[in-house]
C-alpha cells in the first residue's frame, strides 16, 4: 500500500508498517553503535586485559592496563629477553558490552543486595515511582487549575505569573536543604523537590496552552448564552483537553529528570541510591541495567498514556476507531435507541 | 457602461411595495442608534443608525474593512461600542446573550462534541433537561437535513454540513435575531448556492430575523428584503436598498431586470467610478500581455 510513495514527505504521514520499521531502527541504531564499540577491537578498546602477566611484576591476571603501558613494558621485556605478557584488547569497566548488561539486567532482579538493609532493584524502583507519582500528583492538583485560570482570566495571569516566572528560574535542587530541614530526611522532601521542579513550569505551560484555545469557540459559546462558569467548564476545559493531556505527558518526563536530584537529598534512596551503590562496587553492568530500566519505564508509560489519550479523545482527526471506543459508541447508541423507542411509545 | 435598458432599482411592483409596507409595520426587532466605534484613533463605524423589523432578512454589504464584521460583533455583544446604543426589542444590549444567535465564517462547532451535542449546547446551558434538549436538538438537525450525522464529530463533516449544524445550533436557542458574518464565505460556489436556498427555506419556516454580512452581491440580492450598504473613508451608511425582486426567490431571477438593476446600483455604490480610476496600475509589464488585448 505504501509502494512507490516516498519516505521523506514534508508534513506527510507514514504507513503503519513503515512507522514500525523506523521505531525498530531508532533503537537498533544506538544498539548497533554500542555493539560495534564493544565487540570490534580496533574501534576503541584503549586498554588491554591481561591474560598472562609474564615478567611484569605489577601486572596481574584480568587487570586492565593502558595499551601504551602494556606495549612499553613488553618492549622492555623483549629487550631484556624476559617472559612477554599477553592480553586481549578491552574497553574500560564503565563501558560494559551489551551482553554483559543483558545478563546484569536479568541478574539485577534475581541477586539479593550485597549488604543487609540495602534494597533490591525492584524495591528501589518502586520507591522512585512513588516519589514521582506523589510529587507529580500534588503539583498537578494545584498546577492544572491555576494554569487554566491564568490562561482564561488575565486577572489570574497578572497576579500569579510574574512570581511563578521569577521562581521557576531558581533550580529546584537549591531548595533541597530547606526541604530536608522542614520535611525530614525521608520521602517528603524528595516529593517536595519533584513538586517544585514541576509546579512552576506546569502553571506556565498550561496557561499558555489555555491561551492558545481558539477564541472563536469561546465567542460562539458566549453567543449561545454561556456564562463564565459554563465557559470555563464546558468550553475551555474540553477545548484544551487534548493539548493539556500532551503537556502533562511532557511534564511527567521532566519530573523524572528531577528524580535523580531529589533522591540525593536527605537519606539517599530509590533508583539513585541503587545506581550509586553499584557504581561504588564498580558493577557498571548493573548501573547500565538500572539506567535502561528507567528508560523502559518512561517509554512504556508514555506509550500507555498515548494510547489512553487516543481512547478518551475520539474527536481528534486521524484517530482510528479503537475497540474500546466502538464498544462505548455502541452502548451509547443502544441507550439512545431505547430512549427513542420509549418516546415513540 | 450598462447598455441594457434597466428599470430603476427604486421601481417596485405593487406586490413588492405591499410587502415592504407590511414589513415596516411589523414590530422593531433591532434598533441601532448613532453607533460609533473607534479602534485606537481609527474610526471604523461613524454614526450608524438602522432599524430591522421582525422576520426581516437584511444583508450588509460594503468594501472590505468598512466595518461589517465590527457592526455585527457589536450587535452580538462581542465588541464594545465607543458611543451610541443597540436596542433589541427595546432593551439595550451590552454583552453576548442567547437572544442573538451568531454564525461565523470560520467553523466554530465544538470539535469535542458530536453534531447532536453541539446543537444541544445552548439548550443545556440554558437549563433545559437533557431529554428535552435532545429531542429538540433532533428536530433542528432534521430541519437542516443532517439526521444521519447526529452522532458524527465535526471533523467528519464537510464545510457546508458544518455550517448547517452551526445554523441549527444557533436557531435551537430560539434567538430573536440571527447574525451571520459571511457564513458561506469559505464554501465553493455550488455548495454556496445550495446553502443559500437552504437558508431561505429555514427562514421561511422559523420565526427569526436575520442579519447577514456578505461580499457576494448576488447572494445579498437573492437573500434580502433590504440591503444595508456601508461605505468607508469616511465610514457611513451609503444606502439601505429595498430589493425589488419578488419572493419566493429562485435562481431564475438572477437575470430579471429588477435583479440586474439592483446589482448595478450596488456595484455603483461599492466600487464607485472614482475608485476604479484610483486603482494603481502595476508597474511591471507582463510578457506580451498587451498582444491579445489590442
Ligand atoms: N480588534 C481590532 N483592533 C483594531 N482594529 C480593528 C479591530 N477589528 C477591526 N479593526 C479595524 O476596523 C476596520 C473594520 O474591520 P471589519 O473587520 O469590521 O471590516 P469588514 O467590513 O468586516 O471587512 P471584511 O469585508 O474584510 O471582512 C478595519 O480597518 C480593521 O482594521
Ligand atoms: Mg468581516
Instruction: Write the DSSP string, A171-225.
Output: -GGGGHHHHHHHH-SSHHHHHHHHHHHHHHHHHHHHHHHHHTS-HHHHHHHHHTT
A289 in a domain, yes or no?
A: yes
pLDDT of residue A323: 53
Domain boundary among A90, A122, A148: A90
CB A190 within 8 A of CB A131: yes
Specify the CATH number for the domain of residue A135: 1.10.3720.10
Give the CA distances from residue B17 to residues B24, B211, B242, B247, B273, in Å, rounded to whole numbers and listed in that order.
11, 21, 9, 12, 30
A25 in a domain, yes or no?
A: no
**Contact: B110, A239; criterion CB under 8 Å:** yes
Question: Phi, psi at residue B211, to the nearest 5°?
Answer: -120, 120
A38 in a domain, yes or no?
A: no
A233 in a domain, yes or no?
A: yes
| A339: pLDDT strictly greater than 50 | no
The reply to whether A129 and A71 lie within a common domain is: no
- In chain B the domains, ranked by start, together with CATH numbers, are 22-99+177-268 (3.40.50.300), 108-174 (no CATH)
The reply to whether A177 and A85 lie within a common domain is: no
Ligand 1 proximity of B63 Cβ (cutoff 6 Å):
no
**Contact: A225, B108; criterion CB under 8 Å:** no
Q: Give the separation between CA B37 and CA B42, rounded to whole angstroms.
A: 9
The reply to whether A282 and A243 lie within a common domain is: yes
The reply to whether A178 and A230 lie within a common domain is: yes
A318 in a domain, yes or no?
A: yes
Report residue A167 as a C-alpha cell: 521562581
> Of the bound ligands, which one is closest to the alpha carbon of residue B64?
1
The reply to whether A232 and A278 lie within a common domain is: yes
The reply to whether A147 and A252 lie within a common domain is: yes
What confidence tier does B214 reach under pLDDT thresholds 50, 70, 90?
very high
What atom in ligand 1 is closest to the CA of residue B71?
18
pLDDT in tens, A183-230: 887 888 889 999 999 999 999 999 999 999 999 999 999 999 999 999
- Ligand 1, atom 11: closest residue by C-alpha: B44
The reply to whether A184 and A274 lie within a common domain is: yes
pLDDT of residue B294: 43
Q: Give the separation between CA B237 and CA A85, rounded to whole angstroms.
A: 104
Q: Does the CB of B96 have a partner CB in chain A at under 8 Å?
A: yes
pLDDT in tens, B262-292: 998 999 888 875 554 555 666 666 556 555 5
Nearest to B98 by CA among B124, B133, B59, B116: B124
Mutate to test the pocket of ligand 1, among B42, B60, B62, B65 (most ligand atoms within 8 A of CB): B65
**Contact: A224, B125; criterion CB under 8 Å:** yes
pLDDT in tens, A244-275: 999 999 999 888 888 888 888 877 788 888 88
Quote ipTM for the complex: 0.87
The reply to whether A53 and A126 lie within a common domain is: no
The reply to whether A263 and A143 lie within a common domain is: yes
| A337: pLDDT strictly greater than 80 | no
The reply to whether A205 and A317 lie within a common domain is: yes
Number of domains present in the structure of chain A: 2
Q: Give the separation between CA B219 and CA B223, rounded to whole angstroms.
A: 6
A186 in a domain, yes or no?
A: yes
A102 in a domain, yes or no?
A: no
Domain boundary among A90, A118, A143: A90
> Of the bound ligands, which one is closest to the alpha carbon of residue B61?
1
The reply to whether A65 and A161 lie within a common domain is: no
Beta-bridge partners for B102: B179
Return mean pLDDT, chain B: 88
The whole domain housing A62 covers 47-90
What confidence tier does A330 reach under pLDDT thresholds 50, 70, 90?
low
What distance in angstroms lies between residue A189's CA and the mean position of ligand 1's atoms? Answer: 55
Give the number of C-alpha atoms closer than 13 A to the C-alpha of residue B259, restricted to the C-beta side.
Answer: 17
Ligand 1 proximity of B229 Cβ (cutoff 6 Å):
no
The reply to whether A81 and A209 lie within a common domain is: no
Domain boundary among A90, A123, A153: A90
Q: Give the separation between CA A263 and CA A95, rounded to whole angstroms.
A: 25
Beta-bridge partners for B35: B48
What atom in ligand 1 is closest to the CA of residue B67?
18
Among the partner-chain residues A222, A239, A316, the one whose CB lies closest to the CB of B96 is: A222
A5 in a domain, yes or no?
A: no
**In chain B, which residues have their Cβ closer than 8 Å to the Cβ of A314?**
153
Give the CA distances from residue B156 to residues B105, B141, B162, B180, B282, in Å, rounded to whole numbers and listed in that order.
18, 16, 9, 23, 44
pLDDT of residue A183: 84
Q: Give the separation between CA A246 and CA B32, rounded to whole angstroms.
A: 46
pLDDT in tens, A54-98: 888 888 888 888 888 888 888 888 888 888 888 888 888 888 888
Amino acid at each position: 500500500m505504501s509502494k512507490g510513495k516516498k519516505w521523506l514527505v514534508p508534513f506527510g504521514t507514514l504507513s503503519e508498517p513503515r512507522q514500525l520499521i523506523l521505531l525498530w531502527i531508532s533503537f537498533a541504531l544506538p544498539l548497533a553503535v554500542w555493539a560495534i564499540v564493544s565487540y570490534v577491537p580496533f574501534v576503541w578498546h584503549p586498554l588491554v586485559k591481561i591474560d598472562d602477566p609474564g615478567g611484569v611484576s605489577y601486572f596481574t591476571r584480568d587487570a586492565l592496563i593502558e595499551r601504551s603501558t602494556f606495549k612499553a613494558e613488553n618492549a622492555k621485556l623483549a629487550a631484556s629477553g624476559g617472559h612477554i605478557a599477553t592480553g586481549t584488547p578491552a574497553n574500560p569497566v564503565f563501558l560494559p558490552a551489551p551482553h554483559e548488561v543483558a545478563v546484569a539486567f536479568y541478574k539485577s532482579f534475581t541477586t539479593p543486595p550485597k549488604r543487609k538493609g540495602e534494597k533490591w532493584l525492584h524495591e528501589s524502583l518502586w520507591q522512585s515511582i512513588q516519589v514521582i507519582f506523589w510529587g507529580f500528583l500534588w503539583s498537578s492538583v494545584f498546577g492544572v487549575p491555576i494554569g487554566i485560570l491564568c490562561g482564561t482570566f488575565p486577572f489570574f495571569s497578572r497576579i500569579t505569573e510574574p512570581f511563578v516566572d521569577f521562581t521557576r528560574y531558581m533550580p529546584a535542587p537549591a531548595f533541597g536543604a530547606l526541604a530536608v530541614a522542614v520535611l525530614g530526611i525521608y520521602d517528603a522532601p524528595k516529593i517536595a523537590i519533584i513538586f517544585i521542579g514541576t509546579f512552576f513550569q506546569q502553571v506556565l505551560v498550561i496557561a499558555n496552552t489555555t491561551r492558545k484555545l481558539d477564541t472563536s469557540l469561546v465567542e460562539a459559546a458566549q453567543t449561545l448564552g454561556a456564562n463564565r462558569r459554563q465557559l470555563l467548564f464546558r468550553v475551555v476545559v474540553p477545548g484544551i483537553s487534548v493539548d493539556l493531556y500532551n503537556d502533562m505527558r511532557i511534564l511527567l518526563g521532566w519530573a523524572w529528570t528531577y528524580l535523580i536530584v531529589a533522591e540525593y537529598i536527605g537519606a539517599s534512596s530509590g533508583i539513585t541510591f541503587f545506581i550509586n551503590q553499584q557504581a561504588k562496587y564498580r558493577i557498571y553492568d548493573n548501573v547500565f541495567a538500572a539506567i535502561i530500566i528507567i528508560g523502559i519505564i518512561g517509554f512504556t508509560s508514555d506509550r500507555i498514556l498515548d494510547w489512553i489519550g487516543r481512547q478518551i479523545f475520539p474527536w481528534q482527526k486521524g484517530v482510528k476507531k479503537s475497540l474500546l471506543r466502538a464498544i462505548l459508541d455502541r452502548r451509547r447508541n443502544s441507550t439512545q435507541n431505547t430512549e427513542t423507542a420509549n418516546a415513540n411509545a | 457602461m450598462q447598455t441594457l435598458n434597466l428599470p430603476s432599482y427604486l421601481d417596485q411592483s405593487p406586490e413588492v411595495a405591499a410587502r415592504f409596507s407590511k414589513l415596516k409595520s411589523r414590530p422593531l426587532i433591532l434598533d441601532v442608534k448613532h453607533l460609533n466605534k473607534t479602534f485606537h484613533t481609527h474610526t471604523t463605524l461613524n454614526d450608524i443608525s438602522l432599524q430591522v423589523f421582525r422576520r426581516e432578512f437584511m444583508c450588509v454589504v460594503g468594501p472590505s474593512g468598512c466595518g461589517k464584521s465590527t457592526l455585527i460583533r457589536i450587535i452580538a455583544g462581542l465588541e464594545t461600542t465607543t458611543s451610541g446604543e443597540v436596542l433589541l426589542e427595546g432593551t439595550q444590549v451590552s454583552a453576548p446573550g442567547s437572544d442573538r444567535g451568531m454564525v461565523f465564517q470560520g467553523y466554530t462547532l465544538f470539535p469535542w462534541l458530536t453534531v447532536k451535542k453541539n446543537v444541544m449546547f445552548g439548550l443545556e446551558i440554558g437549563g433545559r433537561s437533557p431529554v428535552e434538549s435532545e429531542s429538540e436538538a433532533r428536530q433542528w438537525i432534521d430541519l437542516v437535513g443532517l439526521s444521519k450525522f447526529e452522532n458524527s464529530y465535526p471533523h467528519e463533516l464537510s464545510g457546508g454540513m458544518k455550517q448547517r449544524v452551526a445554523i441549527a445550533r444557533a436557531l435551537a436557542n430560539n434567538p430573536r435575531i440571527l447574525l451571520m458574518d459571511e457564513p458561506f464565505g469559505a464554501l465553493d460556489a455550488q455548495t454556496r448556492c445550495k446553502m443559500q436556498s437552504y437558508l431561505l427555506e429555514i427562514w421561511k419556516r422559523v420565526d427569526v430575523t436575520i442579519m447577514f454580512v456578505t461580499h457576494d452581491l448576488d447572494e445579498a440580492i437573492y437573500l434580502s428584503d433590504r440591503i444595508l450598504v456601508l461605505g468607508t473613508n469616511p465610514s457611513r451608511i451609503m444606502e439601505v436598498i429595498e430589493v425589488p425582486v419578488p419572493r419566493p426567490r429562485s435562481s431564475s431571477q438572477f437575470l430579471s431586470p429588477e435583479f440586474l438593476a439592483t446589482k448595478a446600483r450596488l456595484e455603483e455604490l461599492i466600487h464607485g467610478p472614482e475608485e476604479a480610476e484610483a486603482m494603481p496600475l502595476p508597474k511591471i509589464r507582463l510578457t506580451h500581455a498587451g498582444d491579445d488585448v489590442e
